[in-house]
């Protein structure tokens, strides 16, 4: 039991827990994940509105403006087995650039057939922050469970099967 190391992450992800799996994204105790192309952006008039950042790149980025909030997705689809749980963490270099993630990055055992929805905010006061599909947006820390749960997220999870970024599906 404990945090999985690089060779365990490669075995887990190469076995289908993450698709597409790129072994160059493996760190000593985590796996980098990349930003997908579908987002929800907030506007005063419309609330959260579906949008795409497809076509943007490192040379031609989309900008998240100061105090702006968006929901975004990972490129990767998750199929977490029942004996593993995970935690999303923002990359420290992005936090230093001014990105904030709103701490909803817990991944239950059995989270399956879904992209991960990220809650991103620009915490800077004056400058926009660039982002684009494919950029390394965070990292996943995997932990082995002492035992499989009695009820897996496969049975209880309301966000399983999300092929795109998902808005809130109801409170409580």
Q: How far is CA 93 from CA 96, 99, 136, in A?
A: 5, 9, 10
Catalytic position from the list 42, 68, 119, 144: 119
Burial class (CB in 10 A: 0-12, 13-18, 19+), 163: exposed
The whole-angstrom separation of Cα 121 and Cα 68 is 6
The whole-angstrom separation of Cα 34 and Cα 73 is 9
The vertex-101 CA angle with 97 and 103, nearest 5°, equals 145
68 is catalytic: no
Task: Give the catalytic positions in this structure.
Answer: 119
């Amino acid at each position: 039991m404990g945090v999985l190391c690089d060779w365990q992450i490669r075995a887990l992800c190469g076995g289908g827990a993450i698709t597409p799996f790129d072994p160059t994204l493996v760190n000593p105790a985590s796996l980098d994940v990349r930003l997908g192309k579908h987002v929800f952006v907030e506007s005063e008039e419309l609330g959260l509105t579906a949008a795409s950042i497809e076509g943007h790149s490192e040379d031609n980025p989309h900008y998240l403006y100061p105090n702006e909030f968006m929901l975004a997705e990972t490129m990767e689809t998750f199929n977490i087995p029942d004996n593993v749980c995970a935690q999303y963490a923002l990359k420290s270099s992005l936090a230093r650039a001014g990105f904030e993630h709103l701490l909803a990055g817990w991944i239950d055992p059995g989270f399956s057939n879904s992209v991960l929805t990220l809650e991103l905010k620009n915490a800077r006061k004056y400058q926009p922050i660039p982002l684009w599909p494919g950029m390394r947006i965070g990292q996943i820390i995997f932990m082995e469970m002492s035992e499989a749960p009695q009820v897996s997220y496969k049975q209880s999870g309301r966000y399983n099967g999300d092929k795109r970024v998902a808005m809130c599906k109801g409170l409580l």
